[in-house]
């Protein structure tokens, strides 16, 4: 796309915004390559912002490439990360016993001044 466009674009393949291109809206595609300007929401498997590209808005992708010299301002999210983060539990993590917090409080010694330091003097008003 080398012209100006406002609206939604959907494709099962590649969308390219050329250097003279300006797109504002929503893009849903397999792959998006930006060498022009894009403002809006992009939801693609792969997004590449090349050195002359400018993107502002929200992008959701599995693969994101941002070349040196390009501009990206907005929010980027890894597609599928919410599902993985919510369900994944590292193998070395164990659940604490239900009374762990209560037991920890009962095992804490009261604060006191170490024996090698003088006791603090009370402040007078």
Q: What are the sequence ranges of the domains in the chain?
A: 4-84
Mean pLDDT of the chain: 83
What does the pLDDT read at residue 80? Answer: 77
Total-model pTM: 0.64
Strands 37-49 and 22-34: parallel
38 forms beta bridges with 23, 55
State the pLDDT at residue 14. Answer: 97
User: What are 85-113's pLDDT values in tens digits?
Assistant: 455 555 555 556 665 555 555 555 555 65
Convert the pLDDT of each residue in 44-76 to its tens digit: 999 999 999 999 999 999 999 999 999 999 999
């Amino acid at each position: 796309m080398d012209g100006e466009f406002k609206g939604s674009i959907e494709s099962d393949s590649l969308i390219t915004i050329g250097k003279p291109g300006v797109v504002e809206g929503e893009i849903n595609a397999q792959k998006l390559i930006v060498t022009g300007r894009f403002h809006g929401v992009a939801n693609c498997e792969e997004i590449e912002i090349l050195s002359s590209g400018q993107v502002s808005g929200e992008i959701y992708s599995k693969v994101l490439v941002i070349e040196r010299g390009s501009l990206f301002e907005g929010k980027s999210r890894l597609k599928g990360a919410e599902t993985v983060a919510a369900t994944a539990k590292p193998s070395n993590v164990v659940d604490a016993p239900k009374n762990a917090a209560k037991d920890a409080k009962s095992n804490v010694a009261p604060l006191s001044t170490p024996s090698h330091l003088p006791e603090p003097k009370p402040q007078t008003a």
